Structure 1
Amino acid sequence: MKPVIGITSNIDSTAHTLQNTYTQAVIAGGGIPLIIPTGVERDVQHITTLLDGLVISGGGDIAPQLFDEEPIPKLGNVTPERDSIELELVKHMLSLDKPILGICRGHQVLNVAFGGTIYQDITSQITNPILQHDQKAKREHQSHTVHIEKGTILASIATSDKIRVNSFHHQALKDIHAPLIISGKASDGIVEAVESTVHHFVVGVQWHPEALITNEDQVSRRLFEAFMKACGERMATVESH
């Protein structure tokens, strides 16, 4: 049996969209991708019983009302209907202790789900000099480094204290609450990775590993392998009961 992996999608006025690299990364990892649309909040409990893991994909900005802030001028496009379904999915997946991998926006959604906050725009809200986090290069280009915290899930995957990643974001994690811990930071202090200390596998990364797999980046490949392994383990546990 292959694990069924839910993947959240973007929504605009006419269509749901998702970069093909997400589904291909799941397929390459031995899973069956299931794209989840908005508007299915009433059925989330049923959906999450069908899933063995969840990928929260990248996309637009998170509505600041979700972390008790007013919108600032440089806030980008928000999609409240996407915020709603993703937070419901995370809530139920956490209650079932099923694996979650948050990517870019998904990394930020994870933090909000745990009660954390977000910089709505790092260029206007952080006074210290920062790197270029919205790179002007192709998605497969690894533009800056991330320093990995020892003893974390990410450290066991990276097998190094420093990796290179791609970067396409203007929002970032601000306040982080337990059980999330920081597992990676950029050299300018921007939080690039978090993980839960009490769940089987709940990891968020600010970069796009699904795009780097096509560039044969071994850390990205191992990250998806670790996620898929956790999904398989969780599926086996459920079946044994």
Structure 2
Amino acid sequence: MSKRPVIGLTLDAEEPGGYSKLPWYALRKNYFTALAEAGALPIALPHDPDLAADYLDRLDGLLVTGGAFDVDPALYGGGPAHSTVKLKYGRTAFELAATREALRRDMPVLGICGGQQLLAVAFGGTLIQHIPDSVEGALQHEQPNPRTEPGHEVSVAPGTLLSRVVGGRGRIAVNSAHHQAVDRPGEGAVVNAVAPDGVVEGVEHPGYRFALGVQWHPEYAVDEADPLIFRAFVSACRR
């Protein structure tokens, strides 16, 4: 077996309470498991924007994870924050610094859920701040059933990196845990998947070696296509 590529995962940050009386980092184990099963060596990245470049010097790829928070609308000209918007300034500052530097180096980047939204912002794109207020007849993108089950399907755009990654499948069953979505993907970026209500479910940028974002959580593997996303990402990180 060839050497495992080292892939950094961005952590979530929590305030005191629950696990610790002091601020703490957290991330679900299945992110790490999915990468390890795909052949990578996953490591966690604390939030320090000044160290982003130093981390990347030691990495072969970057995975920007999701979380129950939002990208600051000020970062994409989104106007006043919607009442539902929850910010984590330190986390976003680090993720944006790391993502922009990874793209500058043409290092493979995979964005998941909120990480896909942040990737779109790094591309120069914009977000919908609250789907129910912006999309008429929208699905329940905060699905009521468990995340280990699908919430809806997405249509995959033919000819995209995502389409190649999932073996040309036109539709994928996905889980859904978000109230925001990509509005415009950014200059040169393309939408690679949409929900039945038209909400953007994935973005990518063909100007980079591997810059892919999906709105769902493939680490749960609710569809047989999900592990293929991690395998393709890890393969790109080997080059």
1:157 is displaced (CA, Å) by 2.1
> Among 196, 211, 224, which residue is 1:218 paired with?
224
Structure 1 match to 2:108: 99
**What are the equivalent positions in structure 2 for 1:131-170 lying under 5 Å apart?**
131-158=139-166, 159-170=168-179
Structure 2 match to 1:193: 202
Structure 1 match to 2:9: 7
CA–CA distance in 1 between the matches of 2:124 and 2:35?
A: 28
The one-letter amino acid paired with 1:138 is: P
Q: Which moved more, 1:175-184 or 1:87-96?
A: 175-184
Structure 2 match to 1:236: none
> Among 47, 57, 67, which residue is 2:55 paired with?
47
CA–CA distance in 1 between the matches of 2:54 and 2:113?
A: 26
**What are the equivalent positions in structure 2 for 1:8-23 lying under 5 Å apart?**
8-13=10-15, 14-23=23-32
1:178 is displaced (CA, Å) by 2.2
- Contact kept in structure 1, 2:121 and 2:186, CA below 8 Å: no
1:84 is displaced (CA, Å) by 0.3
Structure 1 match to 2:237: 231
CA–CA distance in 2 between the matches of 1:63 and 1:178?
A: 20
1:87 is displaced (CA, Å) by 0.5
Runs of 4+ in 1 over 6 A off after TM superposition: none
The one-letter amino acid paired with 1:56 is: V
More helix by share: 1
Specify every segment of 5 or more residues in structure 2 that has no aligned partner in the other structure, as ranges. Answer: 16-22
Q: State, as a whole percentage, how many aligned pairs show the same letter.
A: 35
CA–CA distance in 2 between the matches of 1:123 and 1:42?
A: 37
| Aligned Cα root-mean-square deviation (Å) | 1.1
> Among 126, 132, 152, which residue is 1:117 paired with?
126
Normalized against structure 2, the TM-score is what? 0.92
The reply to whether residue 86 of structure 1 matches residue 88 of structure 2 is no
The one-letter amino acid paired with 1:7 is: L
1:21 is displaced (CA, Å) by 0.6
CA–CA distance in 1 between the matches of 2:142 and 2:125?
A: 22
**How many residue pairs are counted as aligned between the two chains?**
227
